[in-house]
Amino acid sequence: MTFIRQFAAETAEAETGLFGALGIDVRLLILQIIAFLILVFLLGKFVYPWLMKQVDERQANIEAAAEAATSAQKSAAESQEQTAHLLAKARKEAAEIVSTAKLESTEIMIASEKKAKKSAERIVSDAHSQIDKDIANAKKELHNQTIELIALATEKVTAGALDGKIDNDRITKALKESQ
């Protein structure tokens, strides 16, 4: 540093020309120009390449992030479209399943009603035939009992006198006894 000051002081005394009149020391100006050029050279050789590399890397990162964001937006839009399509498809399938289930339940209900109706008709038919059998048996039994009563009454009537009043009494008595 002292060298620079000494150089500047000597040049200031020696200069008295146009630059000296303006207050500019030519030697100091030359020295500053050389120092500036050395600084520019050093910065250009070591600092600027590193700075430009960092700037280029940041620019590349920013562009990559922008591309990734665009890709993510496209992917999200496609995913949303696929989701909407799948949801619509699922709703359609659910509606078909519900309508099929309703149709099957209606068919099952109709089949159950037919089966119940046939079962009821069979039960009624069985009941009618059982009633018919019971009536036939009752008639047969009544017929047999009537024959027995008539035979008994005839026996009692013929065994006694042939008087009408006595016959009526005997028939009534015979009927009472048989019951």
Residue 68 and residue 160: Cα distance in Å, rounded? Answer: 133
CA triplet 81, 87, 93: central angle to 5 degrees? 140
pTM of the model: 0.38
Residue 38 and residue 163: Cα distance in Å, rounded? Answer: 176
Q: Rounded mean pLDDT of 142-163?
A: 70
pLDDT, tens digit (0-9, with 9 covering 90-100), for 17-60: 676 677 788 888 899 999 999 999 999 999 999 999 999 999 99
- Going by C-alpha positions, the residue among 10, 47, 2 that lies closest to residue 27 is 10
Q: Which residue has the higher pLDDT, 157 or 169?
A: 169
| Res. 173 pLDDT band, cuts 50 70 90 | confident
Which position has the token pair 């960092």? 54
For the packed helices 2-14 and 26-42, what is the interaxial angle rounded to 10 degrees? 140
For residue 16, pLDDT beyond 90: no
